Amino acid sequence: NAGVTQTPKFRILKIGQSMTLQCAQDMNHNYMYWYRQDPGMGLKLIYYSVGAGITDKGEVPNGYNVSRSTTEDFPLRLELAAPSQTSVYFCASSPLRGPQHFGDGTRLSIL
């Protein structure tokens, strides 16, 4: 099983550019999440979704947008990239009240 697949694995952006981080899961989980992890730090929740068509803000949503048109996919959109958004981004999925399964992450640098 592929589990949670994130693309791209690495990306360098210039300040002001936009991009979409892709996330797909094949476990039929209703819940999906986007986190960011700064160097040496813990996980901060950006957005989450409890099912197709439903999204909600986490702790640090500013500068990001998400959509959930299908159960499988949960893309994260960065508009007008800023240096403060340099981080590692993890997508995760879970069943209700179950453990979260993480993708390998996207390492994003904004210069």
Where on the chain is the footprint of another protein (CB under 8 A)?
A: 33, 41-43, 45, 48, 56, 58, 90, 92, 96-105
Pairing of strands 76-78, 19-25: antiparallel
Quick one: how far is CA 91 from the chain centroid? Answer: 4
User: What's the min distance (Å) between Cβ of 7 and another protein?
Assistant: 14
Toward another protein, which CB reaches closer, 26 or 79? 26
Closer to another protein by CB, 21 or 92: give it.
Answer: 92
107: its two tokens: 């390492």
Number of alpha carbons in the 13 Å side-chain half-sphere of residue 4: 25
How many CB atoms sit inside 10 A of residue 60's CB?
16
**Judged by CB, which is closer to another protein: 24, or 92?**
92
Rounded to a whole number of angstroms, the minimum distance from the CB of residue 65 to another protein is 18
